[in-house]
Structure 1
Amino acid sequence: MGAPGGDIPAAVLGLDGYIRALNDVATTGRRLTRDELQERRALGEQAAEAGFRLRPLIAAHLAVTRERWPLPRAGAPTGSLDRVLAAVEQAVDAVAEGFERAQRVAVRQEEAARREFIDDLLYGRSDVGRLAARAERFGLRFSSAHAVAVAAGPTGYAEGDAVPRQVEQALIARFGDRGTLLTTKDGLLVCVAPGDQHDVLTYFAKQAYAATGGSRVAVGRPQPGVGGVVHSYEEALNALDLGERLGLEGPVLRAADLLVFPVLTRDRQAMAELVHHTLGPLEQARGGAQPLLRTLTVYFDSGCVTAEAARRLSLSVRALTYRLARVHRLTGADPADPVQRYTLQTAVIGARLLDWPARPATP
């Protein structure tokens, strides 16, 4: 018979002390001492840290027990067999306890390292070279561009929650290992994928939408390098924010489709001035500016089709036409005129971005 434990070194197994203890148990009828059990726990921890598996470790103890079964001496107390079996059970349980404890520590360390990497990756706080070296450990290679998608559900999510696990399992089942990273950040689901694998992020959006009960998903543009992940992540976050503030329709928002909005808000003072001077006169209307601003918003969202806008507002076409005429009289800008319509529509977008009239648009 080969050596107990197979490839596990004898120094790791430490079975000589174990057999001596069993012989003493068979002779005296005692239980294993605290030091003997701690020795087995330490053995389990060391084996786990060295990368050995628990099954051959337990098998080695049982094999050496069978090969060198202790024989009670003359005058030994009755019930020697039961006591030896109880000692074997104690020893094996202690080995498993130590092994599992070491594994829990390793899992916590791995989780901490993963969390630190994700924070550094999404905030761009670490040295680029060090971050790239750590990235390969988590399946990312920055030789190609990456894109980031984020999903916001009705509640916040953390690593290990049911929803992130469900989405991750669906991605793995569909695509296997494609160099993607699924995680959570600030309660959002986050998926980092190679920029040329649009199907991965599309499928993530579909699964996240289903798993969260109808969440909104935003996708940043593919960006190169380590800093590209941060850039794409920020684009996705901004797209989510824009979708919320503007009431944009559709479960998936793509930053590439919303590039005009950052341009409009880049000069906040100029936008505030446009809103103030173009739409400010609407506050003179009976009931304030909000009803007429809502009318303009729906009118523009309807492609400036009067009948469709009236239907969405539950108004008659005549009532809608009257409201548009009222806007024209107050602002001096005609929604039916192409040039003036553009000014009005840009101001309406600015009002939504600045939360006007709830907040004053002070130029």
Structure 2
Amino acid sequence: MQHDRGLIAAIGDLARPIAEVVAQDLAAAGGPASSLPAAHAAVDWLLAELRAGDRVRSGSLDALRSEARAAAAAGRPVASVLDPYLSAGWAIWEAAARLPDAAPSLPELGGILLRAGDAAAAAIAAAYADAEAAQAARTASARREFLDELLVARPGDPSLVRLARRAPVYGLAAGVAVRVVLAAADRDLGDDDPAVSRLAAELGPRATIVATDRGRVLAIVRTGVLRDAGIRAALDAALGAGGWAAVAVDVVGGLPGIGAAVAAVHAALGIEVRLGRRGTLDPPEATLLEQAFLADEGLLAGAVAAVLAPLTTTPRTGAELVRTLRVFIETAGNRRETARRLGLAPRTVAYRLRRIEARLETRLTGPGLVRLGAALFARDLLASSADSAPATGPKDRRAVRPRRGPA
């Protein structure tokens, strides 16, 4: 069906007043007061489509895609590009309907306007979304690069001068006090994990950076704006109630201190996970003793063997003797309570304790008993199962697997 060329020419003569109507509509809807150039461009594009016929011109959408990409890059909403074309379609239709003898051609005219408008909307929306996605990827990549450099920087590193210039972009302006929170989930986490996005949403603007480091989720939050209860609630929402362990510490020394703070929470969290703790938010100091014990696991295993081997190697009854010694220490040397907990007669406990003293060649009192308690504590640390830990990220795979103490 051929549409009325005369009608299209008559509409073309009204291009300027139609564009003015579109600009007024855009301004009334909250658009910029200077919408006339965009309105003219939209009207001219649609008139060109009317002249071309039933099909959208090949390549005519490229200019619209360029507009959409430019708007995304400038941070303007997609509506700033799309609305002029949608409004122009209605304005052209209304202008055409007022022309004499236009009625027979209006159905065909309306069909062309609808098809052109749909094509414009689809092209603009797709180009804008693609541009936003690309920009987000570039932003995420830049943030990842900044964070990776920051985590290895230490006071005095030349890179800190450059990092300090970029830091305000990520909410780390000079003088902003921050706290580092590191959490382990039941799986290895990457930056694209939905749980990381959920945590970022839960923390909101109170967190300057939410990302991952070595398979664990790292949040840098502003000090004083979020209490421990709020952090726990956010972790529960993102990682599952009680399905996480976390360590948090206030950063000392501003930007240069962040790398050291993250290293400290990694060391502490490794112990928390190793011990199977869940739903805990502790400071690094909570595991300093365990970290000291495990600083040299080989040496610790040798020490445990040297102290406890006379018991652990006892034929048939070694495990019972170790268990009796453990409960005896836990009850502060109370033989009656030891018997009650073990479900044994007091005389049986007394017999076992005499055997323990004979095997170890030491009295179960004073410093000797304290030393045995330390050996059992170390044995438990060495035997703590790595199976309770979430999967480690690629950077963690170099870690030495925990050795087990003597059985």
Distance 1:12 1:313 in 2: 88
- Of 251, 267, 270, the residue aligned with 1:223 is 251
- 1:87 positional shift: 1.4
- 1:65 positional shift: 4.1
Distance 1:38 1:305 in 2: 86
Identify the range of structure 1 (91-100 vs 201-210) with the bigger mean alpha-carbon deviation: 201-210
User: Is the 1:205–1:217 Cα contact (8 Å) retained in structure 2?
Assistant: no
Distance 2:109 2:278 in 1: 77
SS of match in other structure, 2:356 = helix
Q: Deviations over 1:61-93 (max 9, x none)?
A: 234445556869999998233113311221232
User: Is the 2:211–2:218 Cα contact (8 Å) retained in structure 1?
Assistant: yes
Q: How does 1:164-179 map to 2 (within 5 A)?
A: 164-172=196-204, 177-179=205-207
**Residue 200 in structure 1 maps to residue 222 in structure 2:** no
Q: Deviations over 1:277-299 (max 9, x none)?
A: 21122232124755544544455
Query: Kindly, what percent of the aligned residue pairs are identical?
Result: 24
User: Is the 2:248–2:284 Cα contact (8 Å) retained in structure 1?
Assistant: yes
**Residue 348 in structure 1 maps to residue 376 in structure 2:** yes
Distance 1:331 1:152 in 2: 41
**Residue 110 in structure 1 maps to residue 142 in structure 2:** no
Matched residue count: 354
**Aligned CA distance change for structure 1 residues 101 and 161 (closer, same or farther; 3 Å):** same
Distance 2:175 2:139 in 1: 25
User: Is the 2:206–2:225 Cα contact (8 Å) retained in structure 1?
Assistant: no
Distance 1:79 1:133 in 2: 59
Distance 1:198 1:339 in 2: 47
SS of match in other structure, 2:55 = coil
Aligned to 2:269: 240
**Residue 157 in structure 1 maps to residue 189 in structure 2:** yes
User: Is the 2:182–2:265 Cα contact (8 Å) retained in structure 1?
Assistant: yes
- Of 185, 198, 203, the residue aligned with 2:213 is 185
Distance 2:106 2:272 in 1: 80
**Aligned CA distance change for structure 1 residues 207 and 59 (closer, same or farther; 3 Å):** closer
**Residue 283 in structure 1 maps to residue 312 in structure 2:** yes
User: Is the 2:73–2:131 Cα contact (8 Å) retained in structure 1?
Assistant: yes
RMSD between aligned residues: 4.1
Distance 1:59 1:121 in 2: 43
Max radius of gyration: which structure?
A: 2
Q: Which amino acid aligns with 1:205?
A: R
- 1:102 positional shift: 0.9
User: Is the 2:242–2:278 Cα contact (8 Å) retained in structure 1?
Assistant: no
- 1:122 positional shift: 3.5
SS of match in other structure, 1:183 = strand
**Residue 334 in structure 1 maps to residue 366 in structure 2:** no
Q: Which amino acid aligns with 2:188?
A: G
Q: Which amino acid aligns with 2:80?
A: P
Q: Deviations over 1:160-180 (max 9, x none)?
A: 5454444444444xxxx3455
- 1:95 positional shift: 1.8
Q: Deviations over 1:171-222 (max 9, x none)?
A: 44xxxx345543333332333334x549534432354256424234232443
User: Is the 1:147–1:221 Cα contact (8 Å) retained in structure 2?
Assistant: yes
TM-score, normalization: structure 1?
0.77
Q: Deviations over 1:120-175 (max 9, x none)?
A: 33444982233333333222346466443333232333445454444444444xxx
Distance 1:12 1:323 in 2: 96
User: Is the 2:180–2:251 Cα contact (8 Å) retained in structure 1?
Assistant: no
Aligned to 2:164: 132
TM-score, normalization: structure 2?
0.69
User: Is the 2:184–2:273 Cα contact (8 Å) retained in structure 1?
Assistant: no
Q: Which amino acid aligns with 1:113?
A: A
SS of match in other structure, 2:187 = coil
**Aligned CA distance change for structure 1 residues 105 and 180 (closer, same or farther; 3 Å):** closer
**Aligned CA distance change for structure 1 residues 265 and 12 (closer, same or farther; 3 Å):** farther
- 1:303 positional shift: 5.2
